[in-house]
A = this chain, B = another copy of it.
């Protein structure tokens, strides 16, 4: 099966670089990209072309950190610091997902919203509820989204009577969940200790063993907030730094994503680089909860892998266009905090982080490289006023910043067209 998309094709083959092919052809065979071409070669004579005219065709988004059960509280409780916010908002909201019908309704809406804003790859936290997690995976799979979802493990310091599980329950339910989700094709499980304060050593050891035995990826939180880091230090006096609490239990390798890393110092960053851990920068969330601004420029310079996460509902934007703009804006706050010495992220750099850098966690090459699975967004912007002809790169910049209702015309995920504007 050949797919040929025609339009102004813009991709991010390297951090800070945009490849542009105006009125070009993006071609995939059986859902796998073969290349981007300025003209259609003879072998495709007579093949069907989806012609999107003057639209932009860009890579779709990878959102490497978000909490699905916090979707109902998106945009609320932003005046609280992290640990208070967890208790006042996040835990009670997640507790509702004990009800499968509620979970079905909310997760279907979430999957629909993700698709319509062009997010086709995720690393997502569910709640501790196994059934709701399976429902979430089912809804994402049906919507055509790809990636990883984790049942959350949290056998200590939860919300008593509201959101908690025993160590034994956590282990048993994790195994039940892993068995039950085996048949899904595009949504796979990822082990998800909530964060070190939420998991006993016994549970952490169990999860590390499981990761090794079943070759499973791992996601968690790291060095988001000073109070959190102090707490981890008290809980693990044997570990010099937060990341070592994951490393100790086999939860720290090149299939690990760690959200936030706002306060990761040189040693922690070196440990990430050595292990091949992917940092997920959650700019909105870190600013909303006054956690700080992660040293993204420094991480990039040092060769640490960095991708973006919406982190709903610490973050208030689900749409990765907004999240990209937030990352750029946060880098400007960081520049100010660093006495104007640290270069901010350009839009092209932010775009790379939101697309290629996230896709790398799924084994893809940057940009629309041959061999990548076809993940793409078709974008129209012809209803916006303009004062001169814009280059595709300028149009992409504008798309990142400017709220454009109905701009997304179509979305492709793993070779399938999963959205067409109604």
A401 — which chain B residues lie within 8 A by C-beta? 74-76, 78, 316
How far does the alpha carbon of A328 sit from the alpha carbon of B385 in the complex, in Å?
29
Minimal beta-carbon separation of A224 from chain B (angstroms) = 14
- Name the distance in Å between A77's Cβ and chain B's nearest Cβ: 8
Binds B, one of A164-172, A250-258, A317-325, A365-373: A317-325
For the complex, is A242 an interface residue (Cβ under 8 Å from B)? no
Inter-chain contacts of A317 with B (CB < 8 A): 403
| Contact status B387-A290, CB under 8 Å | no
Q: Which of A70-118 contact B (CB under 8 A)?
A: 71-79, 92-93, 96, 105-106, 109-110
The residue of chain B having its C-beta at the shortest distance from the C-beta of A292 within the complex is B336
Tell me which of A204-212, A392-400, A414-422 binds B: A392-400
The answer to whether B287 touches A71, judged by C-beta atoms less than 8 angstroms apart, is no
**Complex CA–CA separation, A75 to B109 (angstroms):** 29
The 8 Å CB contact of A329, one of B96, B287, B384, is B287
Interface residues in A35-85 by Cβ distance below 8 A to B read 71-79
- Smallest beta-carbon distance A137→chain B, Å: 18
Determine whether A347 belongs to the interface, using a CB cutoff of 8 Å to chain B.
yes
Q: Is A182 an interface residue (CB 8 A)?
A: no
A290 contacts B336, C-beta separation under 8 Å? yes
Given contacts A293-B336, A319-B403, A329-B287, contact A398 B109 (CB under 8 A): no
Q: How many angstroms between the C-alpha atoms of A109 and B384 in the bound complex? A: 9
Chain B hits for A402, CB < 8 A: 74-75, 316
Pairwise interchain contact A78-B397, C-beta atoms closer than 8 A: yes
Within the complex, the shortest CB–CB distance from A126 to chain B, in Å, comes to 15
Closest partner residue, chain B, to A397 (CB atom): B76
Contact A336:B335 (CB < 8 A) given known A385-B109, A403-B317: no
Q: How far is the CB of A393 from chain B (nearest CB, A)?
A: 10
Per-position contact with B for A284-325: 1 when CB-CB < 8 Å, else 0? 000110101100000000000000000000001101001001
Contacts of A397 in B (CB 8 A): 75-78
Closest 9 A/B residue pairs (Cβ)? A75-B401, A75-B402, A333-B333, A316-B401, A75-B398, A72-B385, A72-B387, A96-B387, A93-B387
Shortest beta-carbon distance, A140 to chain B, in Å? 16
Shortest distance from the beta carbon of A335 to any chain B beta carbon, whole Å: 6
- Contact A79 B385, beta carbon cutoff 8 Å: no
Further contacts, 8 of them, CB under 8 A, given A75-B400, A76-B390, A106-B385 = A72-B384, A74-B384, A75-B401, A77-B397, A109-B385, A288-B332, A293-B336, A336-B337
Cα A72 to Cα B78 in complex, Å, equals 32
Expressed in whole angstroms, the Cα–Cα distance for A305 and B238 within the complex equals 53
The answer to whether A287 and B333 touch (CB under 8 A), given A75-B402, A397-B75, is yes
A385/B78 in contact, CB under 8 A: no
A25 at the interface (CB under 8 A from B): no
Interface pair B398/A76, CB less than 8 Å apart? yes
Interface string of A237-270 (1 = CB under 8 A from B): 0000000000000000000000000000000000
Is A346 at the interface (CB under 8 A from chain B)? yes
Structural contact, A72 and B329, CB atoms closer than 8 A? no
Q: How far is the CA of A79 from the CA of B348 in the complex (A)?
A: 10
Q: Which residues of B contact A287 (CB under 8 A)?
A: 329, 332-333
